[in-house]
Structure 1
Amino acid sequence: MALSTGSNKIKTAIFISGTGSNLKSLIKFSELKKSPIIIKMIISNNSKAKGLKYSKIYKIKKKVFDFKNSLSEKKVINELKENNIDLICLAGFMKILSKSFINNFKGKILNIHPSLLPKYKGLNTHEKAIKNNDKYSGCTVHFVNSKLDSGRIINQKKVRIKKLDTPKTLAKRVLMQEHKLYPAAIMKILSL
């Protein structure tokens, strides 16, 4: 990845749609001395996303866009370019980005997904893993390309599925691993 580290931290935008628990863990990670990123923006497609509160708490610029058409995507792209954003981390962002958006930031968009890709792309991953009697579920950080949850995998973490697991209990344990995996993935690609 052709991103410069050194004393200049990489200007990063986090895209969220919900509670922002991965956003919070990435903010905490960005505050560490060893962290190669600085979070400059929080972008959401949902004005009621609970995670937007972190913009106030940590004094990070926030913007809400509807992502309904190419015009609103152009506004997002302009906003990201005006703020010199070099890395985009999707963290529970529930919109599919267009091919044109992805091409504008080729190789600079990461996503965290709650399954061991290539298994269970899309939604309801925990239900699918339990229903299929899988021994493990987990999470994956990958580069974003124009196919849903199909970009090159950066790293993964397995989580054992317990006999009495429900999608909710499994989701909770997987989420704990996501909070560790995302920073590790960022360190991995930015130290290449």
Structure 2
Amino acid sequence: MGKLIGITKTKVAVFISGNGSNLKNLIKHSLKKDSQFIIKLVISSNSKAKGLQYARKFKIKKKSINYNNILNAEKHINDELIKNYIDLICLAGFMKILTKNFIKKFKGKIINIHPSLLPKYKGLNTHQKVLENKEKFSGCTVHFVNSKLDAGKIILQKKVPILKNDNPEKLAKRILKQEHLLYPKALKKIIARL
């Protein structure tokens, strides 16, 4: 018998460390009638992350992970992912670097959103760097996670023009709006291939 359409949704875990605006946006998209994914788990590296309130509000299972010992932390995360039958991990402002072993275990199943047009401006303070270098464009990128920082295969990108009076805050705000459009699109694209 073939798979019944609409029955099996891709089970997603979202990893956060802060405000969780991308998490909130993904939750909104997961609740749409035609959504192909469901957010089953929110993992936070910060027990005071604002984003945890969205997990609470939408009754999604959440776990704060103590990162004092990275191997212990990843063991706990791994257990939670297995327990909740997670198919795909979305990093959304997760401020910890995952180990090579963890990434290998979930190869091709971890994606991240980054606020620049990769491969340019990896890491932190991207908006500052973009403005200092007088770029004409910045943007955001959804990419697969590999063992090198912000270097995995690009899934989708969106360009954002730099305006004359831009500062890092203004640029960050405009790029965040585009992140909210890009991440669900990228998710859809990947799920079609899973």
Q: TM-score if structure 1 supplies the norm length?
A: 0.95
CA distance in 2, matches of 1:60, 1:35: 16
Could you say what secondary structure the match of 1:50 adopts? coil
Aligned residue pairs, count: 188
The Cα of 1:44 is off from its aligned counterpart by 0.3
Report the equivalent of 1:42: 42
Report the equivalent of 1:91: 92
Alignment of 1:59-138 (within 5 A): 59-67=59-67, 68-138=69-139
Contact 2:10 / 2:191 at 8 angstroms: preserved in 1? no
Give me the CA root mean square deviation.
1.0
Identity of aligned residues (%): 64
CA distance in 2, matches of 1:36, 1:161: 34
CA distance in 2, matches of 1:134, 1:7: 46
CA distance in 1, matches of 2:52, 2:132: 34
Could you say what secondary structure the match of 2:39 adopts? strand
CA distance in 2, matches of 1:14, 1:157: 21
CA distance in 2, matches of 1:160, 1:150: 23
What stretches of structure 2 of length at least 5 have no aligned partner? none
CA distance in 1, matches of 2:74, 2:56: 24
Alignment of 1:7-46 (within 5 A): 7-46=7-46
Runs of 4+ in 1 over 2 A off after TM superposition: none
Report the equivalent of 1:54: 54
The Cα of 1:103 is off from its aligned counterpart by 1.1
Q: Which amino acid aligns with 2:163?
A: K
Alignment of 1:168-179 (within 5 A): 168-179=169-180
The Cα of 1:6 is off from its aligned counterpart by 4.8
> Does 2:155 match 1:154?
yes
- Once the two structures are superposed, residues 50-102 of structure 1 have per-residue CA deviations (whole angstroms, 9 ceiling, x without a partner) of 00001111000000112332122111101111110110000000000001111
**Structure 1 stretch 161-170 or stretch 60-69: which is displaced more?**
60-69
Q: Which amino acid aligns with 1:157?
A: K
